[in-house]
Amino acid sequence: MVSTTSAGLLKPLRLPLATGDHFIDPPVVLAPMAGITNSAFRMLCREQGAGLFVSEMVTARALLERRPDTLRMIAPGAGEWPRSVQLYSTDPHTMRAAVTMMGKENLADHIDMNFGCPVPKVTRKGGGAALPYKRNLFTSIVGAAVEAAKPFGIPVTVKMRIGIDSDHETYLEAATSAANLGVAWVALHARTAQQMYEGKADWSAITQLVEHLKPTGVPVLGNGDIWSGADGLAMVAETGCAGVVVGRGCLGRPWLFADLVASFSGTQSKALPTLFEVREVMYRHGELIVDYFENEDRGCRDLRKHMAWYLKGFRVNSELRRQFGMVGSLAELRGLLDQLDDQAYPVEVSEKPRGRTSHGRPVTLPDGWLLDPDEIVEIELEDMFSGG
């Protein structure tokens, strides 16, 4: 195998699949994002060089009940492999059943577990970034997933945050527990749940986790504030992480992955598409999302939220921007795109934060959640939402 990381900056990341070891090269992972990382968006990122492409988060309960939208969310795009699904549950029995179902029905090659979501509808049920605080429950859920996946040769990974807030950091203990249970890697978004997406990610926490897990041999992937290939290099150099996970930085900018691939291979060139090149990516996104939903109206409604991200920094008049935000068909999209004048890529805004910028706020938790980390409290079953 010829390595794209020939500059020696990063080793390919091993993913032990049922069919044999798969090497993610470069070790760049598309983060699961609710309402974003459907198979259409994953295809765009795959075409730009992302190494692994994780589905939107789905709940174990919704999967077991075979909700059509949930099954659509985990369906791979054409030629997509490995099939990577992010799964969420607050109950070890439900998690075990869902992983067993995916194994028996050959629905996934890799399962990532969500312990990082900070949104209230997740944390108020004790899920996402709230869950690792209950160390026994966390161990039970991760252990159930790893054990259920083992007969099918499906590797399990976990993604987490630093903790609930600065007074309740959980990542070191939780990551050690997950590593000892047999996960393939741990990914850390270097913010607390309280921070949401505010301020700068604390990459020093990734550094600490890398050192903390060295005795286990389990790799650490870093996540948070990667807006360019240079950021990816900086994170690896600063933290020693084995790979990077990219979320908001690729919104309206799937070519960020081409930039990361070039950077990790030692190439100095940057991916800076002109507006005419961007508009063709926008139209391809439209075609893919319409195919995904099998409905032009629904697909275009979903596409609208991407328009401002794609056009960020370009000189486009306000009326035309408004029309992009109301696009209702592929023919209308083509007509609007053809009205754009070609421009150079706006470098001054290309490597700035985009997507969610939620300000920090107290984390919504179940009553009594913080009283005792060892206590198993009675919590409601997760909602039937499909992502978060």
- Residue 369: both structure tokens together: 């959640």
Q: Count the Cβ atoms, other than its own, within 10 Å of residue 368.
A: 10
If you count them, how many residues does the chain have? 388
Cα gap 75→39, rounded to integer Å: 7
Contact 376, 137 (CB under 8 A): yes
300 part of the active site: no
Cα gap 239→189, rounded to integer Å: 13
Q: Of 45, 117, 241, 300, which is the active-site residue?
A: 117
Q: How far apart are the first and last CA of the chain?
A: 37
Residue 206: burial class (beta carbons within 10 Å; 0-12, 13-18, 19+) = buried
Pairing of strands 156-161, 110-115: parallel
Q: Which of the residues are catalytic?
A: 117
